[in-house]
Amino acid sequence: MLRGKTLLNEKNTAKVLVVDDIKENVELIEAYLAVETYEVICAYGGKEALQMVKDEKPDIILLDVMMPEINGYEVCKLLKENPKTQFIPVIMLTALSEIEDRIRGIEAGADDFLTKPVNRIELKTRVKSLLRVKYLHDRLVAERDSLEVKNRIQSILTAIIPTLLQSVSNEEKKVIINQMTGMVEKTLLGMYNFEEREMDLAYAGNVCAEIMNQLGGSFSSSIGENGNLWIVKGTKCPWKGEEARKNPILCTLTRKIFSNITLKVDSGSRLEALKTIGNRNDYCEFLIRAA
């Protein structure tokens, strides 16, 4: 996906670049696409097309093969070799029908082919199909980028929080932890409808584990042997294990979150922290006991 470009979706207007050195051919394609909500831009040669891709950042390209200076194969090859443009779909428009011509187009990286004279319905169908693929690709890239940013921010926070808390008093630490707990609850607990369903220890344990997993940990929950308690166990710390070992105050945040969840389920329930990675145990283990 090109940086700085709005994520294409099924409601936004897609930008279609039509490239052909013959003006009448460009006008015909424009007319075929006029009934759609596309923004059509045009180029009349290979060099102009490459510059327009850079300036206009189209969502799809309809590219004629036979052009002077730089032909369609060469243009396509240059676009597909460039990491910034390689995922823009390219439909080759050609009057050539030999299998060798299509193989050459495939080798250049073309995503589809249309034979001239172009059929209007076939053109619209191919464009819609490839734009759908482009939309899905852009969405996956956006989600990946968002996750990378989230992980980067989490790494920074878990590295600096212990250092920041070292310089404040115990009372101030309690206030900060309460504020952090509230922020986590606001962003994550809102997904769980505590008021709209019958709740039990199993639900509380599952919610605790799910929240830690969403934060990047590896937690699970299970019922205890005697049946009146629930065990929440974590083998991977969401606060980046080494940082938690250096300063177990982040484990206090986990304990506070779990306590608030269990109290929402049963005001008389009780949470016990048996082991935590921050206290140099190999894993975390919490017990939720019924009232």
pLDDT band at 126; cut points 50, 70, 90: very high
Residue 3, in any domain of the structure? no
Residue 38, in any domain of the structure? yes
Are 63 and 107 found together in one domain?
Answer: yes
Separation CA 160–CA 250 (nearest Å): 11
CATH of the domain at 116: 3.40.50.2300
Residue 92, pLDDT score: 93
Residue 67: C-alpha distances to residues 20, 64, 72, 80, 117 (Å): 7, 7, 7, 18, 16
- Domain that residue 180 falls in: 170-289
pLDDT band at 151; cut points 50, 70, 90: low
Most confident option among 13-17, 151-155, 192-196, 198-202: 13-17
Structure tokens at 163: 């250092």
Separation CA 3–CA 82 (nearest Å): 13
User: For residue 202, what are the contacts with CB-CB under 8 A and spacing of at least 6?
Assistant: 221, 223, 230
Answer with the one of 140, 155, 186 that is the final residue of a domain. Answer: 140
Residue 6, in any domain of the structure? no
Are 133 and 175 found together in one domain?
Answer: no
The answer to whether residue 187 scores a pLDDT higher than 60 is: no
Are 63 and 124 found together in one domain?
Answer: yes
Find tokens 């994550």 and name the residue: 188
pLDDT band at 3; cut points 50, 70, 90: very low
Answer with the one of 99, 119, 140 that is the final residue of a domain. Answer: 140
Residue 1, pLDDT score: 36
Are 127 and 232 found together in one domain?
Answer: no
Answer with the one of 91, 118, 140 that is the final residue of a domain. Answer: 140
Residue 46, in any domain of the structure? yes
Are 181 and 118 found together in one domain?
Answer: no
Structure tokens at 29: 């394609």
Phi, psi angle pair for 233, to nearest 5°: -125, 135
The 10s digit of each residue's pLDDT in 226-256 is 667 889 999 988 766 555 565 566 777 788 7
Are 19 and 136 found together in one domain?
Answer: yes
Q: How many residues does the chain have?
A: 291
Are 29 and 73 found together in one domain?
Answer: yes
Say if residue 213 is exposed, middle or buried (CB neighbours under 10 Å; 0-12, 13-18, 19+).
middle
Residue 152, in any domain of the structure? no
Q: Check: CB of residue 72 under 8 Å from CB of residue 92.
A: yes
The answer to whether residue 96 scores a pLDDT higher than 60 is: yes
Side by side, the strands of the sheet bearing 284-289 are: 218-223, 229-236, 284-289, 270-275
Residue 1, in any domain of the structure? no
Residue 252, in any domain of the structure? yes
Are 101 and 201 found together in one domain?
Answer: no
Average pLDDT of the residues in 113-131: 92
Long-range contacts of 78-87 (CB under 8 A, 24+ apart): 78/50, 79/50, 79/53, 79/109, 80/108, 80/109, 81/109, 84/2, 84/3, 85/2, 85/53, 87/1, 87/134, 87/137
CATH of the domain at 283: 3.30.1380.20
Are 198 and 251 found together in one domain?
Answer: yes
Mean pLDDT value across the chain? 80
Residue 31: C-alpha distances to residues 27, 97, 118, 120, 233 (Å): 6, 24, 12, 9, 63
Are 135 and 176 found together in one domain?
Answer: no
Are 176 and 107 found together in one domain?
Answer: no
Residue 260, pLDDT score: 77
The answer to whether residue 28 scores a pLDDT higher than 50 is: yes
pLDDT band at 9; cut points 50, 70, 90: very low
Residue 88, in any domain of the structure? yes
Structure tokens at 200: 């039990």
Are 107 and 201 found together in one domain?
Answer: no
Number of folded domains in the chain?
Answer: 2
